[in-house]
Structure 1
Amino acid sequence: MIVKLGKLVSCSSEHPSFPARNLCEHRSGSIGSLTWLCEEPGIKESEAIFELAEPSQITGVDIGNSRCCSVKIAGASSNAPEEWVIIVSHTFMSFNDADHGLFKDQVQLFTKKEISAEVLNRVFNRVKVTCSQPANPRVLFGLSFLILRTDDKLDSGNLDTFGRFKVKEDKGDNSLDKFKEKYIQLMKPKPNSFKVELAKQIESNRVVAVNEKRDETPSRKRLSLKLITPANAAIDENKSTETDKKHEIKKRRLSDKDEKPMESSSKQHSIGILQETRTTMSESINRGRLRCSLCLGNEENVLCKTCNLLVPDKDQANGASRQKPAKPKKPVKNFSALFENVTFSLSGYQNPKRDEIRRKALAMGAKYLVNPNGRNHNCTHLVCAFKNTPKYNQLKGSVKIIDQQWVEDCYDKKTRFPWRRYALDKEEKDLPESEEEVDADTGSTDPLSIYDQDTDSDY
């Protein structure tokens, strides 16, 4: 069970966009977006104290590191709020790796095996988180998430206690016994009378079906079978001829002269019905089955030797082969590669808006230039707030100049739109678009990352 962090008591350093209270807002599926970072690069240690929602024993800790060399979690009780007991302490990277920027943000899980027995038996109502990064003064550091866990225990000595809940005390009215009796009455098995009724209904239906089968004449029975398949019709024909022969022998014994005309007429009638059923079944099969590839090369109104079906008309064959052309699909790329060929610079914006635009473009794979140079063509796009800025006059005619809405729409809608829709100059916006829309793979969308590169001067 997760122990909730109630409120933030104090914090020595926190970034305005990533405060320490983010760690209190843990939700499933939100790991990575609730980050706590220090205020600015160069700080060696950052500390935050949280008050738990309720006093709890801590039996597990999950730490998501964000460029910290070491992290230490300590706890204190209400009786001694200043006596901190170390719960876990872990070193994520060496001093040399941090100095050279070899950061590997890791997740470390601590269970009962890694926590001492003395700490497991204590009840804490406060925790203190200490993050240190003394090696690299050029980066922001902190935690991406912090999860504290505890176990629910059943007090075997008191049957009125279930986990963290306690049953209301009995005041002498035997309410618990009444509840048990009512529950037992509800759980009693139902009578099996419905089974007897169901058996009677099945028996009556069976008797009716047998009577109908006896009343059915041989001619009706043969006709119903003929309507199934031509093969069954042929079998029924053989059976009917055999039965007709038997009837002939009986009828000859009674009267040889009177029964011959009736016999021939009944036989002709059955043959006529058989031919009609064959024609109707062949037509339905011809409509339902697919034509083979050899039918298209044969003449019309001729049976195909392969599928033994009539060749379709030319107009019908041509109509079946026609298909609507499929609509062209938009190209798809990873979200982090939408701006892979974009090298941009900013002009006319101030923080925090300037830093927000830069981080969104970098999250989609773009490269950022502080001082672009139009001569060597190392800059492809200029995100400009208004005309006649120094960078605008310097790069006009050599780069694509757009406003901030291009970056924000591409980031929010996860689609790279043509840049001319957002051109700052009206003449460029009226020209035909030279790019096509590119959709991002939604499964590869990355959360907004923090970058170490400083924002350039505002001009």
Structure 2
Amino acid sequence: MPEIKLKRVVSCSSEDNTHKADNLLSSDTYRKWKAARPGEKHVSVILQLEKEEQIHSIDIGNEGSAFIEVLVGHSTSVKDQDFEVLLVTSSFMSPTESRNGTNTSRVRFFGPSQLVKATAQEKWDRVKMVCSQPYSKSTAYGVSFIKLQSPPDADDAPVSTPPKLTKLGQFRVKDESPSSGSNIQPGSLFFSRDGGTAKTSTGLKGNALHRIDGHSSPAQKTSDKRESPKSKPELKPKPKAKSAEPVPFNRIMEGVVFVLSGFQNPLRGELRDKALALGARYRADWTPDSTHLICAFANTPKYSQVKAAGGVIVRKEWVMDCHKTKQKISFKRYLMNGAESSSESEAEEDESEEETQKAKTPEKRQLTPKKQAIKEEEEEYGGSTDAEDPGKDYRNRMESRRKKAAKKSTVQVKDEDLYGGSTDENTDAEEEEDKPIPELPDFLTGKRFYLYGKFPDNQKRQLQRYIIAFNGAVEDYMSEKVQFVVTSEGWDESFEDALMENGNLSFVKPTWIFAINDRQKMLPYQPYTVVP
């Protein structure tokens, strides 16, 4: 398989002064790329290929990283979100190995079966590697080398076939025709020696029986007549089998673009692997082309963002059940918006399934209404169909109607006499009408933030919610799009390196975001900047 050549390094989130990212371009395996300092959460590098090529396999040499993920993209794309996952997050070191510092230079080879098939079939000219080491904060990690191979050429295939032997020492090998070799079966040579004459004799006897007196026996005619009509209906069920072809496993979730929220490894990687195997596409953040948010629990930042945008939010059981049953299940059963919506969708699906069963089996149409009537009676009368229960239900209905009439009368009395009506709080709540929810202000439109370092208590989650509520964006990685870095730890030495790469960066305190929320207006960030 020919090796794909790397042209240059497009960008790098962090690199050591000695072990730079340019070392990955050379073929020397002793050169490495490491992060600038130990304890970084994520480090990434983007490599440019000489031309667009299809990636068939990947060889990666580790250098202290616990997890490595490989993504691909095009040089013409503007956003980082346009990268597609080629190799899902793979483990290179266990937690014990990371803490003890053992097996840091493990090498793994990933073939076509381990890559995402939909992404591996296309051509790309950029490769992005994302490394992480959450188990050790004392060592700088990275990658020692990466090698990409393109698919093998079609011209190379016949060369691998060994030449045919014609002589074996002083003996000559007997030539065999291809037709005779393909028809050889176990035991056929013994049958040809022992029973060859018997086959010919039985064949002649059978033909002679048919040719006696120029016609066949009446028993044979009746058997032929009986077999002829049976052969015709056997051809009818064939088109039915073609119409009910099962969906391939890798296309069950075709067209689904999902985002994960609230999950941690290894469950997060397991969910992503199963969804990608079913044909879905993964996005790190919610984008306009995203269709589903798979959420662990409600009230996460992505949950509120997707819910405000009107997206579909489902539980993780949707992916698990689809992967387990190898069938596409409707996502409506797994909605997180509430039990009402999921129950309504289940009722609709059950009704549709019953209609299809009725259309397939018309003989059972008279039985299904009776079953439904029995189920309705069981639900209305507490699971029994005795003659006394309908009377009790009728009384309960009459009592509920009387209570409603009494409530209406109390409301009328309250309008007439301020001190003669009921003092219950429910009567006031029932009179109130639902008011429209006010729209959130867009103070931070077009601004992108990156939250750096540690924050006290639950401050980081509050910052994410305020930024998203004011129409801002929070980036997971330090990229060229980031305009403001929010930190509560003061000035850091790494900020100088970030300013060298992006001169438009501004380092601010969290109090700026909180002040905007308290005063409900846009405030200048200059009084809240972090100065060395």
More helix by share: 2
TM-score between the two structures when normalised by the length of structure 2: 0.27
User: Greater relative contact order: 1 or 2 (C-alpha under 8 angstroms, separation 6 or more)?
Assistant: 1
Structure 1-normalised TM-score? Answer: 0.31
